[in-house]
């Protein structure tokens, strides 16, 4: 039998338990009401925008599509249903028109990048890519824009650098023929070696993956793991949770790992490459402080060290900038080249490969067999094939979001301040009124009847958005084009290519999406086998 003291304690425990439970229930109810009210307010403020109710009510509808790697495909479907303006979230609107492109991304636009891009900060420090402010972006871009200009890139030193990387790729095809034909990986070696030397030079930070350096090749494993899509998805939709769970160390880290709470097993995406970039930064810094002369005008890091005092750049400002340039130049170039070579290697596209080879072999080469890099972009079939591949297989096809601090009229609709708006290359490049049969690889769509390239004023060129446009246009566009054009010209003057699995599309990871050729039912992510057959004579 309970004593009066025990009975009192038991009664107090019941009351406390009831009170805590009630309090927790009330808190959960208050949170639900707040979330509902916030969502309802967002829903009402954009009621005038056409779109699907399920997407308008909750951001998790589009997040669900993203989890299944189809959010951009869903946005395209909404545009097909509702037209060039489609509401894709409670506070998110997608556009697909040239007028919207100019308003959102054009010169003098009041729209700036959202906090979404901060996930690409390096070492906790923003860089040119992640700056929200257009002023900050413009000031940083001025520091390095000269070395990325087409005029500078066509100077002897940059051209010779790209030639060396192209030759190393071709040499690897001969020396490692059994494995080198898996071009998803080997083209990453090519782009990694090229951008690392461009950013850091040869002595500190330049890589030699093409030449067989095991440590440098291992760094590409940062990119190969498909789980990076899951990490990116969590980072975008649950940033606070992702930051907390991925920064646990010691016992807490072991518990998190044991419970399977990590979106991706360690090491995380790009961690090895970022360590490599940080080590290269400190090697440069120590060398400069030791009186060693560095290549100031031909490398990104050299240029930033040259202007660091005048522009008050911290160590991490320079390190973050260099790491971002390094990472930005790997996937994009490699994936674009892979899809282009794969498309040309399909049996149904043999005529395009033959036409390209005929054009290249009929072009004047120097004694070493190299075509003049300055003339490559003037070759109609080479340029048309490259543009068609970039149109159909844009390496960054997803929604590029922006927001403005004031109400803005876009395509006749008033968009309230702080609404997330944007467009996607994927949707623009599949606008059927501009690109008939948009899912078909047709390089001739970029050529006039007389076989010359279409003028820049042609609608196709106005809708081409592989490198973005305006102030935020890809700073590395000319470097990427030089790498791609020079490798293609050299390869197809010496080889024919045949897809080993012509019924299977390669797939690439872009943020938390996966993209391939939609006309094929089978896909292999991060793998593409191409047989290179040397031309006789």
Question: What is the Cα–Cα distance from 344 to 478, expressed in whole angstroms?
Answer: 23
Q: Which of 184, 514, 118, 164 is nearest to 324 (CA)?
A: 118
Share of the chain above pLDDT 70, in %: 92
All domains of the chain in start order, with CATH = 47-120+399-429 (no CATH), 134-225+269-395+430-463+466-534 (1.10.630.10)
pLDDT of residue 285: 94
For the chain, the 3-state helix, strand and coil shares in percent, each to the nearest 5, are 55, 10, 35
Statement: residue 208 has pLDDT above 70: yes
Mean residue pLDDT of the chain comes to 90
Return the percentage of the chain with pLDDT > 90, whole number: 72
316: its two tokens: 């991490």
Q: Given the DSSP bridges, would you call strands 92-95 and 420-423 parallel, antiparallel or unpaired?
A: parallel
pLDDT at 461: 97
Average pLDDT of span 28-42: 66
Tell me the C-alpha distance between 281 and 312, whole Å: 17
320: left (phi over 0), alpha (psi -120 to 50) or beta: alpha
Write out the two tokens for 456: 């820049």
Residue 537 has pLDDT above 80, yes or no: no
User: Tokens 């890099």 belong to which residue?
Assistant: 373
Burial class (CB in 10 A: 0-12, 13-18, 19+), 63: middle
For the CA atoms of 83, 86, 88, 93, the dihedral, rounded to the nearest 10 degrees, stands at 140
Q: Between residues 395 and 20, which one has the greater pLDDT?
A: 395
pLDDT at 432: 96
Q: Which of 333, 347, 325, 427 is nearest to 389 (CA)?
A: 333
**Rounded Cα distance, 62 and 54, in Å:** 9
pLDDT digit string (tens) for 100-122? Answer: 999 999 988 889 999 989 888 99
pLDDT, position 142 = 94
Which is higher by pLDDT, 221 or 528? 528
Whether 95 and 423 have beta carbons less than 8 Å apart is answered as yes
Assess contact for 497 and 533: CB atoms under 8 A: yes
- Rounded to an integer, the average pLDDT of 178-182 is 89
> What's the mean pLDDT in 164-184?
94
Mean pLDDT computed over 19-41: 65
Question: What confidence score (pLDDT) does residue 353 get?
Answer: 98
Q: What is the 3-state secondary structure (H, E, C) of 169-218?
A: HHHHHHHCHHHHCEHHHHHHHHHHHHHHHHHHCCCCCCCCCCCCCHHHHH
pLDDT at 15 over 50: no
Is residue 393 within 8 Å of residue 336, measured between CB atoms? yes
For residue 340, whether the previous peptide bond is cis, meaning omega lies within 30 degrees of 0, is no
Q: Residue 9: its pLDDT value, please?
A: 59
Q: How far is CA 318 from the centre of its chain?
A: 21
For residue 358, pLDDT beyond 60? yes
Q: Is 526 left (phi over 0), alpha (psi -120 to 50) or beta?
A: left
Task: Identify the H or E element spanning 435.
Answer: none
- Model confidence at 271: pLDDT above 50: yes
The Cα 108–Cα 88 span in angstroms is: 26
pLDDT digits (tens, 9 = 90+) for 286-319: 998 988 877 667 899 999 999 999 999 999 999 9
Q: How many of the other CB atoms lie within 10 Å of CB of 261? A: 13
Query: Which long-range CB contacts under 8 A does 109-114 form with residues at least 24 apart?
Result: 109/134, 109/402, 109/470, 109/471, 110/404, 110/405, 110/406, 110/408, 111/402, 111/403, 111/404, 111/408, 111/421, 112/402, 112/403, 112/404, 113/137, 113/401, 113/402, 113/472, 114/401, 114/402, 114/403, 114/420
Q: How far apart are CA 437 and CA 444, in angstroms?
A: 12
CB 200 within 8 A of CB 299: yes
* Position 522 pLDDT exceeds 80: yes
* pLDDT given for residue 409 in this prediction: 96
pLDDT tens for each residue of 224-254: 777 888 888 998 889 889 889 888 888 888 8
Window from 125-139, 178-192, 251-265 with minimum mean pLDDT: 251-265
Q: In sequence order, what DSSP letters do the residues of 270-297 get, joined into one string?
A: THHHHHHHHHHHHHHHHHHHTT----TT
| Residue entry with tokens 């089978």 | 522
**How does pLDDT run across 311-352, given as a tens digit for each residue?**
999 999 999 999 999 999 999 999 999 999 999 999 999 999
CB atoms inside a 10 Å sphere around CB 447:
15
Average pLDDT over residues 420-448: 97
Query: Going by DSSP bridges, is the β-strand pair 495-499/530-534 parallel, antiparallel, or unpaired?
Result: antiparallel
Model confidence at 40: pLDDT above 80: no
Structure confidence at residue 266 as a pLDDT band (50, 70, 90): confident
Residue 227: which H helix or E strand, with range?
none
**Site of tokens 């080889």:** 495
Long-range contacts of 293-302 (CB under 8 A, 24+ apart): 294/201, 295/201, 297/147, 298/147, 298/157, 298/158, 298/201, 299/147, 299/197, 299/198, 299/199, 299/200, 299/201, 300/144, 300/147, 300/198, 300/199, 300/200, 300/325, 301/199, 301/200, 301/201, 301/205, 302/201
């Amino acid at each position: 039998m309970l004593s009066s003291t025990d009975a009192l304690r038991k009664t107090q425990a019941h009351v406390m338990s009831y009170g805590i439970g009630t309090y927790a229930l009330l808190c959960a109810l208050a949170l639900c009401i707040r979330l509902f009210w916030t969502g309802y307010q967002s829903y009402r403020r954009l009621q005038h925008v056409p779109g699907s109710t399920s997407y308008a009510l909750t951001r998790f509808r589009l997040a669900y599509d993203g989890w299944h790697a189809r959010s951009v495909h869903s946005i395209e479907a909404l545009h097909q249903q509702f037209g060039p303006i489609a509401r894709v979230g409670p506070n998110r609107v997608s556009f697909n028109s040239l007028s919207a492109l100019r308003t959102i991304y054009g010169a003098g636009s009041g729209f700036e990048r959202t906090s979404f891009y901060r996930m690409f900060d390096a070492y906790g420090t923003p860089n040119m890519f992640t700056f929200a402010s257009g002023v900050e972006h413009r000031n940083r871009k001025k520091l390095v824009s000269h070395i990325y200009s087409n005029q500078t890139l066509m100077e002897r030193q940059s051209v010779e650098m790209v030639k060396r990387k192209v030759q190393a790729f071709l040499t690897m095809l001969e020396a490692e023929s059994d494995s080198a034909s898996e071009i998803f990986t080997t083209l990453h070696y090519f782009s990694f070696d090229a951008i690392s030397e461009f950013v850091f030079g040869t002595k500190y930070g330049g890589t030699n993956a093409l030449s067989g350096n095991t440590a440098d090749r291992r760094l590409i494993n940062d990119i190969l793991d498909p789980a990076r899509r899951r990490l990116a998805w969590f980072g975008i939709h649950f940033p606070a949770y992702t930051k907390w769970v991925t920064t646990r160390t010691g016992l807490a880290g072991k518990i998190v790992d044991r419970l399977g709470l990590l979106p991706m097993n360690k090491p995380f995406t790009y961690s090895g490459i970022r360590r490599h970039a940080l080590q290269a930064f400190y090697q440069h810094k120590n060398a400069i402080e030791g009186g060693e002369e560095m290549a100031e005008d031909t490398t990104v890091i050299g240029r930033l060290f040259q202007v660091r005092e005048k522009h008050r750049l911290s160590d991490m400002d320079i390190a973050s900038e260099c790491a971002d340039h390094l990472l930005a130049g790997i996937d994009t170039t490699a994936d674009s080249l892979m899809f282009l070579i794969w498309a040309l290697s399909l049996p149904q596209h043999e005529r395009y490969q033959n036409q390209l080879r005929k054009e290249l072999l009929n072009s004047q080469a120097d004694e070493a067999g190299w075509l003049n890099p300055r003339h490559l972009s003037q070759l109609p079939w080479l340029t048309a094939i490259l543009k068609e591949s970039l149109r159909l297989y844009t390496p960054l096809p997803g929604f590029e979001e922006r927001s403005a601090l004031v109400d803005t009229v876009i395509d006749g609709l008033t968009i309230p301040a702080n609404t997330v708006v944007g467009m996607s290359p994927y949707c623009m490049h599949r606008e059927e009124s501009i690109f008939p049969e948009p899912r078909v690889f047709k390089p001739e769509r970029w050529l006039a009847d007389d076989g010359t390239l279409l003028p820049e004023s042609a609608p196709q060129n106005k809708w081409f958005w592989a490198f973005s446009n305006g102030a935020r246009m890809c700073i590395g566009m000319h470097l990427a084009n030089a790498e791609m054009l020079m490798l293609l010209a050299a390869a197809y003057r010496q080889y024919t290519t045949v897809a080993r699995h012509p019924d299977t599309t390669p797939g690439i990871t872009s943020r938390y999406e996966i993209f391939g050729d939609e006309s094929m039912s089978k896909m292999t992510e991060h793998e593409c086998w191409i047989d290179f057959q040397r031309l006789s004579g």
